[in-house]
Amino acid sequence: MVVHERDPYNAEPPRSALAGGPLTPADTFYSRNHGPVPEIDAASWRLALDGLVQRPLLLSLAELRERFQEHTVAATLQCAGNQRSGFTEIRDIPGEDPWGPCATSTARWTGVRLLDLLTAAGLKAGAEHIAFAAPDVSQLADPPQPYGASVPVAKAVHGEVLLAWTMNGAPLPRVHGAPLRVVVPGWIGARSVKWLQRITAQRKPSGNYFQATAYRLLPADADPAAVGAHEGISLGPVALNCAILRPDGTVRRIAGPAEIVGYAFAGDDRTVARVDVSVNGGRTWSQAGVDAPIGPWTWQYWRTTLDLPEGEVEITARAWDSTGAAQPESAAHLWNPKGYANNSWARLRLNCSR
Ligand code: MTE
Ligand code: MO
């Protein structure tokens, strides 16, 4: 893993580790933490569901599993800070890790539908947002506070939003949120709250620092230390993006035909419709083959074989989604003070010898 920070633990896999296929093993899956990883005793743990509901719930893991039907959803998680390193090349972003293109991974998650819990509890009129609360206290929040987030009811009651205890068929690892985490497919990873303890139906989005202040897109000239809560654009659905996974740029290449492989992720309920690849800095492009997603909520792999010229080579890739939207060319006009949502064209520099 490429470790950006040990405490809190923040790490992404190398490109080559993701190149193998669309499901990411748990020990290769990126880790994004804002505080210490809590150790929760699953036997005494309880999940509370309260707020604007007719029948509040308090459930043990066993009760959750007994009362509700189990569902499995393959979903890609992606941090809003994925590809931030493309921004820091333009202008420094103090206090934020320079994530490369691998702050994203895909797993099959098994658990219960948030929809089914909300149906059992019965939403009251006025419930517009579903807030999630966890116990891990982040010293990076202002003021320091446990992690939290929310999604609008319209997303919460889509059947794909899970409360999961299993990842790729094995118990959810502690670092990924055991005993129970939220999985909000197609939305930025920040909404998929780990170590879930409490779900609250409420009128307004969560007031938690990580919903109200962080994970918002601020204008380039804003001072993130000075802006108040609720400024900027709250991030939800992931923006269309792609990355080159193979070759990975770490080994010297021989010029000539090479298979180029990557992922593209359309976010929310869109799919990837086309990926173009260039090995001459965008003078000419060729269309890559795009794999079908392994489920409606996952990234898609693409591949093509192109002749790598001798010398300095820049491989460039750009994707289109099912609505016809394309990735922007440059990160320069996307730059924002917290460094979120850099979905500009993927670029990889290589040196090829004869
Ligand atoms: N949940 C809690 N309780 N604490 C956190 O720090 N980080 C969020 C989200 N859920 C976080 C959390 C962010 S920003 C991301 S991108 C994903 O978890 C990362 O999930 P992973 O570490 O399992 O890859
Ligand atoms: Mo994130």
End residue of a domain, out of 219, 234, 249: 234
32 CB under 6 A from ligand 1?
A: yes
- What is the model's pTM? 0.98
pLDDT of residue 82: 98
pLDDT of residue 249: 83
Please answer whether residues 164 and 125 qualify as being in contact, where contact means their C-beta atoms are separated by less than 8 angstroms.
no
Shared domain check, 344 and 253: yes
Structure tokens at 114: 């948030």
148 CB under 6 A from ligand 1?
A: no
Shared domain check, 149 and 24: yes
> Residue 156, SS3?
helix
147 CB under 6 A from ligand 1?
A: yes
State how far the Cα of 167 lies from the Cα of 156, in Å rounded to an integer.
20
Shared domain check, 120 and 153: yes
196 CB under 6 A from ligand 1?
A: no
Give yes or no for a cis peptide into 247 (omega within 30° of 0): yes
Shared domain check, 266 and 209: no
Ligand sitting nearest the alpha carbon of 8: 1
**The total number of structural domains that make up the chain:** 2
215 CB under 6 A from ligand 1?
A: no
Shared domain check, 199 and 113: yes
pLDDT of residue 252: 77
End residue of a domain, out of 218, 234, 250: 234
Side chain identity at residue 111, one-letter code? G
33 CB under 6 A from ligand 1?
A: yes
State how far the Cα of 294 lies from the Cα of 174, in Å rounded to an integer.
26
Q: What is the CATH number of the domain that holds 169?
A: 3.90.420.10
- Burial (CB < 10 A; 0-12, 13-18, 19+), residue 192, is buried
Of 199, 174, 173, residue with least CA distance to 184: 199
State how far the Cα of 124 lies from the Cα of 175, in Å rounded to an integer.
34
Q: Around Cβ 66, how many Cβ atoms within 10 Å?
A: 9
Our mutation pick for probing the ligand 1 site, out of 10, 29, 33, 215, counting the most ligand atoms within 8 A of Cβ, is 33
State how far the Cα of 133 lies from the Cα of 200, in Å rounded to an integer.
8
Residue nearest to atom 21 of ligand 1 (CA): 31
> Residue 183, SS3?
strand
29 CB under 6 A from ligand 1?
A: yes
Shared domain check, 349 and 299: yes
150 alpha carbon – ligand 2 mean position (Å): 14
State how far the Cα of 12 lies from the Cα of 279, in Å rounded to an integer.
26
Q: What is the CA radius of gyration of the chain?
A: 21
Our mutation pick for probing the ligand 1 site, out of 192, 206, 211, counting the most ligand atoms within 8 A of Cβ, is 192
Q: State how far the alpha carbon of 254 is from the alpha carbons of 136, 138, 251, in Å.
A: 48, 47, 10
Shared domain check, 166 and 275: no
Q: What is the CATH number of the domain that holds 348?
A: 2.60.40.650
Shared domain check, 292 and 162: no
End residue of a domain, out of 211, 234, 257: 234
Residue ranges making up the domain that contains 230: 2-234
Ligand sitting nearest the alpha carbon of 84: 2
Name the stretches of the chain with pLDDT < 70: none
